[in-house]
Amino acid sequence: MGRGENLSDEEIISDCLKGNGHAYAELVRRHQRMVFNVLYRFLGNYEASQDISQETFIAAYRKLDTFNGRSKFSTWLCQIALNKARDMLRGQGMESLCDDLEDHQAVLAAEDRETPHRRLEMAEENKRVQQVLNKMPANYREILLLKHLQGFSNEEIVGLLKTSIENIKVRTFRARQMFKRIYEEMR
């Protein structure tokens, strides 16, 4: 059990800022799952998601003194992660980095407690959803992920994407319409 396990994110950040860089490991442990999953669903590429997850935590550590505590630390991390992912896509002139989903069946597979038949169905469904996401523009994809996968509120998304609530509502509406259309086309 780590020493920082009972501390809040803010207490650990304060520890890090006092020079105890090792304390940061607990923050990485707590939030790596969220960061990696948002990135994987956003980029659709396992290796790139791993690289950008690492870059996100490294960048967050280096500018930890700028974290003002107005949002949750997880929201701040998510913002850094998505900024980096968007930069990567822009740099490569792409909307997503789909990799071969078959390569990652192990990580995409449904949970073990289901029957083999159901597991297969769920794995197919998960694969289809990821393919739908990969076909969508990045600015629609990110809003769906933040809202429906991570459960962020409109207010949190406003802070995270630095835009207005009206913009979020319009973008969400359009993103949902597009998601539904592609999802149904792929059935």
Partner 1 sequence: MIRVTEISDDDMMRRYLDGELDQSERSRCMENLSIVQKRELLEMEKALQALGNLPALSVPADLASNVMAAIMPDKQPLSTRIRHWLLRHSPLLGLEIGSVAVAAIVLFLMLSPGKFLHPEAATSHSDLQAMATIPPANSRVGFSLYAPGAKSVSLISDFNGWSSERSVQLHPLGHDKWGVAVKLPPGSYQYAFLINGHKVVTDPAARQVNDDFGHKNAIVTVI
| C-alpha–C-alpha distance, residues 55 and 52, integer Å | 5
User: Backbone dihedral region of 115: left (phi > 0), alpha (psi from -120 to 50 degrees) or beta?
Assistant: beta
131 binds partner 1 (CB under 8 A): no
Report how far apart, in Å, the C-alpha atoms of 69 and of each of 29, 50, 65, 82, 160 are: 20, 26, 10, 19, 13
Site for partner 1, residues 54 to 73, rule: CB under 8 A: 54-55, 57-58, 61-62
| C-alpha–C-alpha distance, residues 109 and 58, integer Å | 30
Candidates 65-73, 75-83, 94-102, 147-155; binding stretch for partner 1 (CB under 8 A): 147-155
Report how far apart, in Å, the C-alpha atoms of 16 and of each of 4, 27, 176 are: 11, 10, 40
For residues 19 to 38, the per-residue mask of contacts with partner 1, x marking binding by CB under 8 A and - elsewhere, is --xx-xx--xx--xx--xx-
Question: Which residue, 133 or 161, has its beta carbon nearer to partner 1?
Answer: 133
The residues that touch partner 1, with contacts defined as CB under 8 A, are 21-22, 24-25, 28-29, 32-33, 36-37, 40-41, 50-51, 53-55, 57-58, 61-62, 107-111, 125-126, 128-130, 133, 144, 147-149, 154, 169, 172-173, 176, 179-180, 183-184
